Amino acid sequence: MSGRWDRLNLVALLLACALFAALGLAWWRDRARTFAEPRWDPARFVALAPDSAAAGERWVVAVNLTCPHCQEHLRVLAGRTTARAAPPALAALLVDQPGRPSRLDLGVPLAGGAWWDSAQVWREAWGRRAYGETFRFDARGRLLSSTPAGVVPDSAAVRL
Amino acid sequence: MHRTPTSAPHARAGPLAPAMDGLRAWALAFLAAALWFEVLWRAAPGTLAQSAPPALAAAVGLAAQLAFTAVEASLGVAAWGALGFRVRWSALAPALLTVSTVEAIAVAVASGATGLHEGWSTILAGPRAASGAGADALARAFASFGVLTLLRLALAAHAHAAAARVPWWRAAALVLVFHLASRLLVWWSLDLMQGRSYEPWGHVPPCPDAGTA
């Protein structure tokens, strides 16, 4: 009986070591990957809501439909920028969304439109993971900054 | 190869002494489990499990803690066995569960149930007790590191040393390896899963110090 328990404990230790090594390897490989700098190119995404943005900055929020906090961030951001003289064009980029949503209601007007990242550009090409992250692009689509949820993009210290 | 004690520690205490020691260890472990349930039950409304009834959340949390302790003891027995020391799971598991009450206290401190000042809470229970704890995966993995964690590690080392009959420092080295390995696993997992998790990763505004819009 004792021998059986000893073997079980040994198996548990070996499994734990294997898990540790596998996860460490996966993490290292993930960290070793190089990703492209985000750049706003509408052709890479599927438009879900019209883009009526004039020339100026575009703020793109990575939104997942099952994530309430990033949608809340989008709404708060909209509320805090509408009073500006030249508000940025706020846009939502639906990420980690396997299928095209049948209907979309994010509860805010989006001058920059709503876009579906059908090709997983956000995750696979840009290497991004945090929902609610806001990308600030200039009129030519170049990245000015990226900031986490809860931060006003052009007022934060976080910059790429 | 297994080393055994040269003299029976209970030889003079009578034949029932080992059984009484075992009974006492499990009784203390039972009390520790009860304390865990109480702490988790009180902390439940302020956690992500707030959608579940507090008693259910506490029961699930307690089951997870018991399972974690069982695996921790199992790994400890195997590790000591690989080093040539025979350790009984039934001796190590209740001792580790009893020691984990320190972590239960840390959870209570971090949840704000003790009413301590934030500075003291952070010193005792680590940065997780502070409002606005970091969003970085590495910071989150080590967010529980405080004085109470140090105390728990020291007491766990004592439990291992008693079960394996080795010097404390030697047991402390093994406990430290286990602890660091578990933190690394948490760090790597959080890093890899970031974005796939639906928990609040950052804090939603208001964020008055983040600037004006």
pLDDT at residue B207, rounded to an integer: 30
Interchain pair A77, B213: CB under 8 A: yes
Partner residue opposite B205 with nearest CB, options A13, A76, A95: A76
Interchain pair A132, B201: CB under 8 A: yes
Q: Of A118, A98, A124, whose CA–CA distance to A38 is shortest?
A: A124
pLDDT at residue A5, rounded to an integer: 82
| CATH superfamily ID and name for A42-147 | Glutaredoxin (3.40.30.10)
Residues shown for chain A? 160
User: pLDDT tens digits, residue range A46-89?
Assistant: 999 888 877 789 999 999 988 888 889 999 999 888 888 888 99
Mean pLDDT of chain A: 88
Confidence of residue B192 (pLDDT cuts 50, 70, 90): confident
pLDDT at residue A103, rounded to an integer: 84
**Which sequence spans correspond to the domains of chain A?**
1-33, 42-147
Question: Which pTM was predicted?
Answer: 0.71
Interchain pair A64, B198: CB under 8 A: yes
Adjacency order of strands within the sheet including A89-94: A46-49, A114-116, A89-94, A58-63, A134-137, A143-147
> What 3-state class would DSSP assign to A146?
strand
